[in-house]
């Protein structure tokens, strides 16, 4: 089996951010900042750490592309440049010439459909998908750890993290086979199983390395959970035809699409900083009495 190197990553940023209203009325959820960086920047940096050269954003209707490509108004750019500050979330990231690419998901038909919108740019290569509202903190980053695993086993490798029983109906869930270190064979996948029916506690935390064949499957994919075209349902059809593994990341996950998860991320990352950590820690202590 030849393992094709991973170079491309798809960042679906077309979501409506309904779990984060009213903030998302005026701001795309990917631009919510954790301490001092937008979520999309964490995701792009994580991808770059895993060797990604070609960045593909799938944007949605009414999403302002310039907010994602350029985080500062034109008027302040010269000043920023003069002070050696970053202008966009992509600054300092090694990319293939011509990257990034933007594609448009015309209608919010689901994650599977969003990924499929990138099919022409992905072409006949393996590709990663990173969901920016899942913030992953670890050294090395999630993508780098996952790429190392992919370079050994090839095929499809997706994130696999344990959650509480009460949470399994919120996510894509893995039916696990044999486990070897951080890799687990995937025997089946189900999107948002009804409470009490989940085959395991292993959820898919929005990190994927997939073979291009999944795009052909997505082409004819019927609507699934929540009436949406689900990536999980299309991936499930690759099992048995291609190697398919779950990878358990050594690090911390924060669900920043959720208000409590977002606050936790801000607190944890602030406390870990040398500059503001001590002040925030002292404040948190008084707050908690």
Q: Answer yes or no whether residue 204 interacts with ligand G1P by CB under 6 A.
A: yes
CB of 12 to ligand G1P, least distance (A): 9
Among 20, 57, 127, 171, binds ligand G1P (CB under 6 A): 171
CB of 232 to ligand G1P, least distance (A): 5
Query: What is the rounded distance in angstroms from the CA atom of residue 192 to the CA atom of residue 187?
Result: 16
Query: With contacts defined by CB under 6 A, how many residues of the chain interact with ligand G1P?
Result: 13
CB of 31 to ligand G1P, least distance (A): 18
251 and 129 in contact (C-beta within 8 Å)?
A: no
Q: Which residues pair with 184 in a beta bridge?
A: 179, 246
Residue with tokens 């302040």: 76
Query: What is the rounded distance in angstroms from the CA atom of residue 268 to the CA atom of residue 170?
Result: 23
Nearer to ligand G1P, 31 or 93 (CB): 31
Among 17, 132, 206, 224, binds ligand G1P (CB under 6 A): 206
Query: What is the rounded distance in angstroms from the CA atom of residue 220 to the CA atom of residue 214?
Result: 11
According to CB under 6 A, which residues from 211 to 250 bind ligand G1P?
A: 230-232
8 and 56 in contact (C-beta within 8 Å)?
A: yes
CB of 77 to ligand G1P, least distance (A): 34
State which H helix or E strand residue 254 sits in: strand 252-255
Alpha helices for 131-242 (secondary structure H)? 142-153, 213-219, 231-236
Among 38, 100, 172, 176, binds ligand G1P (CB under 6 A): 172
CB of 231 to ligand G1P, least distance (A): 6
Query: What is the rounded distance in angstroms from the CA atom of residue 223 to the CA atom of residue 233?
Result: 9
According to CB under 6 A, which residues from 105 to 164 bind ligand G1P?
A: 111, 131, 134
Among 30, 45, 46, 191, binds ligand G1P (CB under 6 A): 191
Q: Tell me, rounded to whole angstroms, the distance of Cα 97 from its chain centroid.
A: 23
CB of 69 to ligand G1P, least distance (A): 23
Query: What is the rounded distance in angstroms from the CA atom of residue 265 to the CA atom of residue 107?
Result: 30
Binding stretches for ligand G1P (CB under 6 A):
111, 131, 134, 171-172, 191, 203-206, 230-232
């Amino acid at each position: 089996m030849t393992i094709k190197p991973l170079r491309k990553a798809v960042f679906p940023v077309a979501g409506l951010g309904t779990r984060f209203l009213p903030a998302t009325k005026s701001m795309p959820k990917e631009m919510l900042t954790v301490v001092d960086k937008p979520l999309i920047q964490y995701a792009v940096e994580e991808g770059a750490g895993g060797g990604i050269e070609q960045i593909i954003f799938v944007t949605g209707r009414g999403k302002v592309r310039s907010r994602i490509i350029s985080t500062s108004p034109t008027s302040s750019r010269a000043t920023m440049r003069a002070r050696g500050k970053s202008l966009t979330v992509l600054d300092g990231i090694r990319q293939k010439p011509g990257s990034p690419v933007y594609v448009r998901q015309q209608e919010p038909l689901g994650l599977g459909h969003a990924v499929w919108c990138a099919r022409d740019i992905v072409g006949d290569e393996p590709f990663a998908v990173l969901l920016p509202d899942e913030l992953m903190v670890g050294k090395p980053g999630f993508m780098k750890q996952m790429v190392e695993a992919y370079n050994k086993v090839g095929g499809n490798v997706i994130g696999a993290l344990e959650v509480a029983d009460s949470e399994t109906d919120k996510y894509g869930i893995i039916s696990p086979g044999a486990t070897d270190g951080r890799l687990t064979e995937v025997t089946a996948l189900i999107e948002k199983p009804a409470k009490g029916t989940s085959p395991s506690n292993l959820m898919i935390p929005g990190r994927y390395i997939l073979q291009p064949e999944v795009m052909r499957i997505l082409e004819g994919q019927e609507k699934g959970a929540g009436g949406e075209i689900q990536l999980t349902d299309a991936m499930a059809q690759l099992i048995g035809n291609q190697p398919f593994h779950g990878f358990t990341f050594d690090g911390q996950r924060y669900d920043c699409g959720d208000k409590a998860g977002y606050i936790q991320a801000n607190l944890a990352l602030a406390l870990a900083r040398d500059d503001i950590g001590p002040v925030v820690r002292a404040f948190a202590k008084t707050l908690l009495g």
